[in-house]
A and B are shown apart, each in its own frame.
Chain A
Amino acid sequence: MERTVERDSGFEGSGRAVRDRLTRFVAVGEVGVLLALIVLVAFFYIVEPAFLSERNIRAILRVVSFIGIIAIGQTILLVNGEFDLSVGAVAGLSAVCSAKLMTALALPVPLALIGGVLVGAGIGLVNGLVVVKLKIPAFIQTLGMLFIGQGLIQVVTNGYPVYPLPPVITAIGYADFLFGLGWSFVFFILAALMADFVLRRTVLGRNMYATGGNPEVARLVGIDTNRYKIGAFMTVGALAAVAGMFVMADLASGTTSIGSGWELNVIAGVVVGGVSLFGGAGTMAGGLIGVLLLQVVTSGLVVVGVNANWQQIAVGVIMVLAVGLDILRRRYFIAGSSAAPAEPPTATTPS
């Protein structure tokens, strides 16, 4: 029962080649989203030139630097085929924990900051272990962790913000070098470059794509997919903690509302940027451009004076559209072999 679909031999018709090149271009997630970003920026600028004022740009980038730090982790996790809804709560919990460590327990600041990161990584470890070992879907485990984290924030703080914080923290928060963006932006850029390098150029990154693309195949070629997934959960946890602590420094207070609601912005952003919810596809650049795009939309609508209620609606619509595109793209790639029959003429039950 042989099938003779020899479609890749020799030279292709030029029509096919053009089509292929086009699809490949669109398939590169970040190209589409980058174009969309440019169009949106131009649109808001034309409607309201103040959109590109120094102050507004700074405001957008500031938010992007906080949320972007988490988005780096979330992109890595999504590439590994999982996702984390608890990042907002983890950011808040890590921030208030480190604030407590440096105030109530009077630990040295560096130690307290490390403590905060450990809280985040620890929660990531728990998420990872539960998802991988107990096979509880990431959606349930991390949604549960979102509630648990929010509760723990109240337990740790009794509902009161933790302040005053040591002056070093305030100084970190108030630093305004680099176009007034300060340390969080520097960290964001460095972490993004590093993560991009890991994903694109290293064995580690390649194995992550394999893990997210098809864990069964990854295991068969000898990749310990469990370790990869747990590691990715820990990374996103640790990065969420860092982001939370930067916000704490910015506010000069361990406020209980840090991180609240971020999880959705982060996931919506990276997904808009072409990082697949189904794992194994997407780039760091794409994910972060997506985060920036959502921030541009939110901010742009404010600047042009659209009612705040409509901002959320716009974000929702954009995200659904983006995921719809993602699904279409996937269908095209997986069904690429659709010229072959869905089931071969022979019986196909594994023996």
Chain B
Amino acid sequence: MHTGTPIMTDPATAPPVIQTRAIVKSFAGVQALRGVDFAVHPGEIHALLGQNGAGKSTLVKILNGVHKSGSYSGEILVDGKPATFASTSDARAHGVGYVPQEIEVLEQLSVAENVFAGHTGLGRGPIISRRRMETEARALFEELGLAIDPRMLVASLTSAQRHLVMIARALSFRPRVLMLDEPTASLSGVEVERLFSVLRRLKAQGKTMIFITHRLPEVLAICDRATVLRDGRVAAEIDRAHFDEEHFIFAMSGQKLQRLYPDHVAPPAETPPLLSARDLSIAGRFGVNRGVSGVSFDVRPGEILGLAGLLGSGRTEILHALYGRIPFSGSIAIDGRPVAIARSSDARAAGVALLTEDRKRDGLLFNLPVGANITIGNLAPLSSHGMVRDAREKSAVLAAMRALNVKARSPQASVAHLSGGNQQKLLFARVLMSAPRVLLLDEPTKGVDAGTRHEIYRLIVDLADKGVALVVVASELEEVIGLADRCLVVADGRIVDEFQRGEGSEDKVLRSITTAQAEMQQQALAAGAGRT
């Protein structure tokens, strides 16, 4: 796969293109980066690896100026000289080019206008010369070895082509180092190969690149060196000569703080399933995931089923489909009876509840106080003739707050001022009020403190003991493995492995994901070759 000798200046003589020293960055007292030394040498493709939460995105945001200098300690060196990035444009001026994961294009403008968006005058004053812009864009695409007509409207391009336009845009600033943030997150195998040929071409021209990913096969295919982050520290820096899957997996998973999970005994295997999903398929969304194809599984009453997978694997989409939030094909049965779930109210009627991942975006109602946030959607038993019975509502709210230990001044308090942990428990109170039989939990402990985290684990196990069927998704593999009676490993929208409590480990999950991804890449390449 790896072609040509990289044009590599001797690292001993040439300083790193970009380097960080002892970067420490905290959010509200929690350290996201704990002293990161990271160096990228001229002419290399440097992989930045790590599990979710390892600190990748924080480091990237420091390198491209989103987190301003001063909001962290440590220093950045560009070509060996200290540099401070006060803004993203500052970082760009220092030669850091950034291609974000999600596509940000101006659809109604031409390719050339998109490439030069922000400097359409090409530094020659306020009047835009369309012809010169197109010529320069064409030259850029030639460098990339691409045949995209700069006059085309971006609206008519495919998603993969738009991504290439964004790479061209980043290159138009003539960066010293190009950061690609999860560039393959939503590309098909053939598209990945096309992107790689572009990257190889850039490398042959002596460009330096940082390739942020969590797909090991791609690192093995194209990168020269890799830095693995774990828990905000550099866990390993690996040269191509020492590239080895095991090595990476060991560095990425490593030993973490051991958390204690409450004991839970899975229901006997012969218990008939409460929820059965058959052949679920969901269309992908560009820049986010590749969709889900043909996923089937059962959950028994009293069972905690974990969906282990990385970002973009499709695990959240599976939950959303079960709750009728996104369209899907396939069938869902509850107690063996098929149910049609086209919208959330159908799922609720069938006894399914969902705890969403993002409290701010699709969890809390900031315009309503604590009490109304808990009872919303559950008002039927608290009302008569369509009128909310204040006394009944208040006692239900207080009972729910007490049961889940939600700490708020009163049911009338604003939800915005609750801590993350209390907000999360409030949302648990909301979803539990309808007494669901199937509970879907998307990142149930995201952004909560250690104490609340444990309360939530306890709650999950208690619910299972009461016969609720639970499906849990969490970014931290260790959490899914620790909580679940049974784990399904999801990669690129497919279930690639399954194991029982006690049989799994983080590196086992990472290994099955990597193996599956490598297989799928091979298949896609074979299919691509078969077509041409």
Contact = CB atoms under 8 A, between A and B. Distances in A.
B157 interface: no
Nearest to B416: A336
A333 B414 CA distance: 8
Contacts of B452: 2
Name A's interface SS. Answer: loop
B517 interface: no
Interface string B337-380: 00000011100110000101110111111111000100111111
A231 interface: no
Contact of B30 (A4, A224, A351): A4
A321 to B, nearest CB: 22
Contact of A340 (B53, B379, B420, B450): B420
B228 to A, nearest CB: 15
Given A203-B386, A209-B368, A351 B58 contact: no
B380 A203 contact: yes
Contacts of A308: none
A7 B419 CA distance: 6
A38 interface: no
Contacts of B101: 349
Contacts of A6: 419, 421, 449
Interface residues of B, number: 82
Nearest to B354: A220
Given A202-B386, A347-B52, A351-B289, A8 B409 contact: yes
Nearest to B316: A351
B370 to A, nearest CB: 10
B83 interface: no
Contacts of B364: 214, 217
A223 interface: yes
B467 interface: no
A350 interface: yes
Given A222-B344, A347-B311, A349-B101, A341 B366 contact: no
A3 B449 contact: yes
B494 interface: no
Give the most central of A4, A339, A340: most B CB within 10 Å.
A4
Contacts of A336: 366, 414, 416-417
Given A203-B388, A221-B376, A350-B288, A5 B27 contact: no
Contacts of B29: 3-5
B407 A8 contact: yes
A336 B367 CA distance: 12
B189 interface: no
Contacts of B56: 347
B348 A222 contact: yes
B293 interface: no
A210 B416 contact: no
B419 A221 contact: no
Given A206-B372, A210-B368, A345-B55, A340 B344 contact: no
Given A347-B53, A347-B57, A334 B366 contact: yes
A346 interface: yes
A348 to B, nearest CB: 8
Given A8-B408, A202-B388, A210 B376 contact: yes
Contact of B475 (A8, A220, A222, A346): A346
Contact of B361 (A1, A216, A346, A349): A216
A3 B375 CA distance: 27
B367 A281 contact: yes
B314 interface: yes
A337 interface: yes
A25 B42 CA distance: 60
Nearest to A200: B388
Contacts of A207: 376, 379
Give the most central of A223, A279, A340, A348: most B CB within 10 Å.
A348
B310 interface: yes
Contacts of B55: 345
A2 B453 contact: yes
A206 B354 CA distance: 21
Contact of B450 (A4, A335, A351): A4
Nearest to A203: B379
A182 interface: no
B108 to A, nearest CB: 17
Given A220-B354, A221-B344, A3 B387 contact: no
B495 interface: no
B366 A213 contact: yes
A226 to B, nearest CB: 10
Contacts of B377: 210, 220-223
Interface string B52-74: 11011110010000000000000
A201 interface: yes
A9 interface: yes
B67 to A, nearest CB: 9
Given A222-B344, A340-B420, A346-B53, A213 B365 contact: yes
Given A8-B407, A202-B388, A344-B27, A219 B343 contact: yes
A269 interface: no
Nearest to A334: B366
Given A5-B420, A219-B344, A341 B27 contact: yes
A280 interface: yes
Contacts of A124: none
Interface in B139-198: none
A212 interface: yes
A220 B326 CA distance: 11
B444 interface: no
Contacts of A224: 345
A204 interface: yes
Given A203-B379, A203-B383, A347-B52, A333 B420 contact: no
B365 A214 contact: yes
Contact of A204 (B288, B386, B449): B386
Contact of A339 (B28, B316, B368, B421): B28
Nearest to B61: A343
A8 B311 contact: no
B525 interface: no
B313 interface: yes
B511 interface: no
B233 interface: no
Given A220-B356, A345-B232, 4 more contacts: A203-B388, A222-B377, A223-B376, A345-B25
User: Nearest 3 CB-CB pairs, A to B?
Assistant: A221-B377, A336-B416, A345-B32
12 contacts: A2-B445, A5-B419, A209-B368, A213-B368, A214-B366, A217-B363, A276-B367, A280-B365, A333-B366, A340-B419, A346-B446, A350-B316
Interface of A: 1-9, 12, 20, 24, 201-204, 206-207, 209-210, 212-214, 216-224, 276, 279-281, 333-337, 339-341, 343-351
